[in-house]
C-alpha cells in the first residue's frame, strides 16, 4: 500500500548515481513540490550526487513553476535526457533558467531526444525490451551521423545507435533502468489508486510508472487531494495503487503557469468562445490569420508552439468556431488533448473545452501513424537545402519537442514564423504592412545550425505538401526549392524579401499573388476556411 508522506521524506532515500524520471509539460502536470524538495535536499546536504534525469518533455516553465530547474545543480545533475528544454527569461529576475547555463557552459551531459522517442522509449523499458527502434529522425540532429542528440561536449556516451535491419537504416535507443519515477495526478485514494479527473493532460504518467516498476524502482506521486475509493467507479482510476510507493499531497499546486485551476481545460465547465483571449495585433497574428486559411474542416489538425498555436484563437475571434461549427474542426497538440480550442503561450499543450484527453504515449502512436494529416508548426531557420530547424540556434537549445514526429508523418505542412528576428518592428496601416525596422537575423539561412527535419525530402520522396507563412511573404516548398507565391501589400519584394534571404528562391510564381489586405487590419471580417 502506498505511503502518504511529505515531499522531503519522499526524496530522502534517493541514492547517488540514480536515474530519476519526471512527468511535466511546461507548467502542466508538473510535480513541482517533489522536484523542489529534491533540489533543496541537495542544497542542504550535498546529496544525492551524480543523478541522471529523464524528462520526456520540458518540465516546468523555469519561472514560477521551475520544474527541471529545481534540480539543475552541479553535482546533483550529472546527465539530463529530455524531449525538450525551456529557455524563457524570468520576468521577476530577468534571468534565463539555470539549466540553460549548465548546458551553455558544458557543466552537464545534456541530450535532446524527439518527444516521440522519449515517450515510446518508456514503453520499451516497461516491457524490458532491448530498446526502441524507429525510422523517425533519420537524417536529423538525433541521427548519430549528425550528433546523436548530444547538446554538450561532455555528453560523450552514445545513447542512440544507427542500425540496419533488412537493408533499412533505423535508429535504436537502448533501454536502461529507471530508479525513481516522479508523477502527478489529480487524486489518490488511501490504497494509492491514481486518477486524473481534473488535469488537462495525462502525458507520460502511466509510461513512467510502469517503466520504473519494471526496473525495480520506486514511484512517487504528487496529488492535489486524497479521496475515498468507494466514492468513484473503477473506470475512473487511471492506474492501480499497487504500482505507487509514496504519495505527496500538494493541495495548492498550480494547474499550469498563470492558472491556479480552470475546469474548462478538462471540460468540467465550458468556456464561451467570446471569453477566449484575443491575440494582439502583431506579426504573429498576421501569420496565424494567413495560416488559418490552410485549415480544413473534419481533418485532424495538430498545432505546434509559437504563431502556429494562435491559429485556433484567431479562428475563434473571426467567429469560425461558434456554436456547432467548433465540432467541424478537429484540433490537437502532441500532448493528447482533443477537440475544443488549442491555447497558446504558457497555456499551450492543452485545449479549452476538449472532447477527449488521451495518454501521451498513445498520442504519439497516433502522430507517428499519420493520423494528424495537417500540421502547423513554427520554424527558426529554413535553409537552401530545404532543412527546417527549431532544435538548436544561436544560444537557444529548445530541442525538437514533437516536431520531428509531427513533420515526418503529416501529409500537409505549414511552417509559421516571422521572416527575420532580432529587433523586427512593424506597423499596420490601411491593410498594408509597414516594416519600420527589420530584424538583424534572417531566418532564411544558407545552412541551418541544426537539422530538425528535411522538408524537401518529404515533398520529393513521400508526397508531402509544405508551405511557409511569414508576415510578409508566403512560399511553397517544392522539390527544387522555395517558390515565392504571395507578398504582403506594402512590401518591396527585392528589399524586404530577396535581399533578406541568404539564398534565392527557386522561382517566383507567375502571377505573383498578394496576401489579403484584411490580414493586416485590426478587425478582420469573418470568413470561411477551405472545406473538407
Please state, in angstroms and as integers, the Cα–Cα distance from residue 289 to each residue in 471, 503, 522, following that order.
10, 27, 11
For this structure, is 109 an active site residue?
A: no
Distance CA 356, CA 266 (A): 8
Residue that is written with C-alpha cell 537502448 in the block: 174
Contacts for 518-521 with beta carbons within 8 Å, 24 or more apart?
Answer: 518/431, 519/286, 519/289, 519/290, 519/488, 520/286, 520/428, 520/431, 520/432, 520/433, 520/488, 520/489, 520/490, 521/428, 521/431
Which helix (DSSP H) or strand (DSSP E) does residue 363 occupy? helix 360-368
Secondary structure, 3-state, 35-71: HHHHHHHHHHHCCCCCEEEEECCCECCCCCCCHHHHH
The CA–CA distances, whole Å, from 418 to 108, 307, 421 equal: 33, 9, 7
Among the listed residues 334, 478, 480, 499, the single catalytic one is: 334
Cβ atoms of residues 248 and 220 within 8 Å:
yes
Dihedral (C-alpha) 116, 122, 124, 129: value to the nearest 10 degrees? Answer: 140
Is the preceding peptide bond at 511 cis, omega within 30 degrees of 0? Answer: yes
What are the catalytic residues? 334
Amino acid at each position: 500500500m502506498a505511503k502518504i508522506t511529505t515531499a522531503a521524506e519522499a526524496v530522502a532515500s534517493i541514492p547517488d548515481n540514480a536515474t530519476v524520471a519526471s512527468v511535466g509539460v511546461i507548467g502542466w502536470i508538473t510535480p513541482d513540490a517533489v522536484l523542489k524538495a529534491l533540489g533543496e535536499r541537495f542544497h542542504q546536504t550535498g546529496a544525492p550526487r551524480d543523478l541522471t534525469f529523464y524528462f520526456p518533455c520540458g518540465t516546468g516553465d523555469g519561472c514560477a513553476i521551475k520544474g527541471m530547474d529545481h534540480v539543475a545543480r552541479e553535482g546533483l545533475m550529472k546527465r539530463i535526457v529530455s524531449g525538450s528544454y525551456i529557455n524563457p527569461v524570468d520576468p521577476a529576475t530577468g534571468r534565463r533558467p539555470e539549466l540553460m547555463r549548465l548546458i551553455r557552459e558544458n557543466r552537464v551531459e545534456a541530450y535532446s531526444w524527439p518527444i516521440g522517442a522519449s515517450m515510446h522509449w518508456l514503453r520499451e523499458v516497461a516491457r524490458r525490451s532491448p530498446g526502441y527502434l524507429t525510422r523517425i529522425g533519420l537524417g536529423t540532429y538525433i541521427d548519430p551521423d549528425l550528433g546523436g542528440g548530444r547538446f554538450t561536449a561532455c555528453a560523450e556516451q552514445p545513447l542512440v545507435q544507427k542500425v540496419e535491419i533488412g537493408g533499412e537504416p533505423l535508429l535504436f535507443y537502448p533501454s536502461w533502468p529507471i530508479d525513481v519515477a516522479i508523477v502527478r495526478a489529480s487524486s489518490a485514494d488511501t490504497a494509492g489508486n491514481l486518477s486524473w479527473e481534473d488535469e488537462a493532460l495525462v502525458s507520460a504518467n502511466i509510461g513512467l510508472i510502469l517503466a520504473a516498476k519494471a526496473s525495480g524502482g520506486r514511484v512517487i506521486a504528487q496529488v492535489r487531494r486524497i479521496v475515498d475509493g468507494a466514492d468513484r467507479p473503477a473506470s475512473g482510476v487511471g492506474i492501480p495503487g499497487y504500482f505507487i510507493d509514496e504519495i505527496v499531497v500538494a493541495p495548492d499546486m498550480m494547474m499550469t503557469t498563470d492558472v491556479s485551476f480552470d475546469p474548462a481545460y478538462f471540460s468540467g465547465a465550458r468556456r464561451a468562445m467570446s471569453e477566449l483571449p484575443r491575440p494582439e495585433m502583431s506579426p504573429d497574428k498576421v501569420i496565424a490569420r494567413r495560416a488559418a486559411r490552410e485549415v480544413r474542416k473534419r481533418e485532424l489538425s495538430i498545432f505546434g508552439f509559437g504563431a502556429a498555436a494562435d491559429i485556433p484563437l484567431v479562428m475563434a475571434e473571426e467567429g469560425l468556431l461558434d456554436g456547432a461549427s467548433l465540432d467541424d474542426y478537429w484540433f490537437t497538440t502532441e500532448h493528447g488533448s482533443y477537440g475544443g480550442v488549442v491555447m497558446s503561450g504558457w497555456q499551450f499543450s492543452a485545449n479549452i473545452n476538449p472532447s477527449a484527453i488521451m495518454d501521451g504515449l498513445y498520442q504519439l502512436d497516433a502522430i507517428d501513424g499519420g493520423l494528424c494529416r495537417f500540421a502547423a508548426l513554427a520554424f527558426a531557420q529554413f535553409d537552401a537545402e530545404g532543412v527546417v530547424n527549431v532544435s538548436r540556434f544561436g544560444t537557444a537549445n529548445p530541442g525538437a519537442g514533437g516536431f520531428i514526429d509531427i513533420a515526418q508523418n503529416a501529409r500537409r505542412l505549414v511552417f509559421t514564423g516571422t521572416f527575420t528576428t532580432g529587433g523586427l518592428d512593424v506597423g499596420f496601416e490601411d491593410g498594408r504592412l509597414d516594416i519600420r525596422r527589420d530584424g538583424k537575423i534572417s531566418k532564411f539561412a544558407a545552412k541551418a545550425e541544426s537539422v530538425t527535419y528535411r522538408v524537401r525530402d518529404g515533398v520529393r520522396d513521400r508526397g508531402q505538401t509544405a508551405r511557409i507563412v511569414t508576415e510578409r511573404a508566403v512560399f511553397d516548398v517544392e522539390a527544387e526549392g522555395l517558390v515565392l507565391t504571395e507578398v504582403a501589400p506594402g512590401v518591396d519584394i527585392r528589399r524586404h524579401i530577396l535581399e533578406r534571404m541568404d539564398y534565392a528562391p527557386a522561382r517566383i510564381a507567375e502571377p505573383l499573388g498578394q496576401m489579403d489586405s484584411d490580414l493586416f487590419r485590426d478587425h478582420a471580417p469573418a470568413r470561411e476556411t477551405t472545406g473538407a
